[in-house]
A and B are shown apart, each in its own frame.
Chain A
Amino acid sequence: DGGITQSPKYLFRKEGQNVTLSCEQNLNHDAMYWYRQDPGQGLRLIYYSQIVNDFQKGDIAEGYSVSREKKESFPLTVTSAQKNPTAFYLCASSIIPDSYEQYFGPGTRLTVT
Chain B
Amino acid sequence: AQKITQTQPGMFVQEKEAVTLDCTYDTSDPSYGLFWYKQPSSGEMIFLIYQGSYDQQNATEGRYSLNFQKARKSANLVISASQLGDSAMYFCAMRVPRRRGGSEKLVFGKGTKLTVNP
* Residues on B with beta carbons closer than 8 Å to the beta carbon of A31: 103
Q: Is B47 an interface residue (CB 8 A)?
A: yes
- Interface hits, A31-89 → B, CB 8 Å: 31, 33, 40-45, 48, 50, 56, 58, 88
In the bound complex, do residue A42 and residue B33 qualify as a contact, i.e. CB atoms below 8 Å apart? no
In the complex, how many residue pairs between chain A and chain B have their CB atoms under 8 Å apart?
A: 60
Given contacts A43-B108, A48-B103, A109-B43, 10 further A-B contacts (CB under 8 A): A31-B103, A42-B93, A42-B111, A45-B106, A48-B105, A97-B98, A100-B50, A104-B45, A104-B46, A107-B43
A-B residue pairs, 6 tightest by C-beta = A42-B108, A104-B45, A107-B43, A97-B103, A43-B108, A106-B44
B residues neighboring A (CB under 8 Å): 4, 9, 33, 35, 37, 42-47, 50, 52, 91, 93, 95, 98, 101-106, 108-111
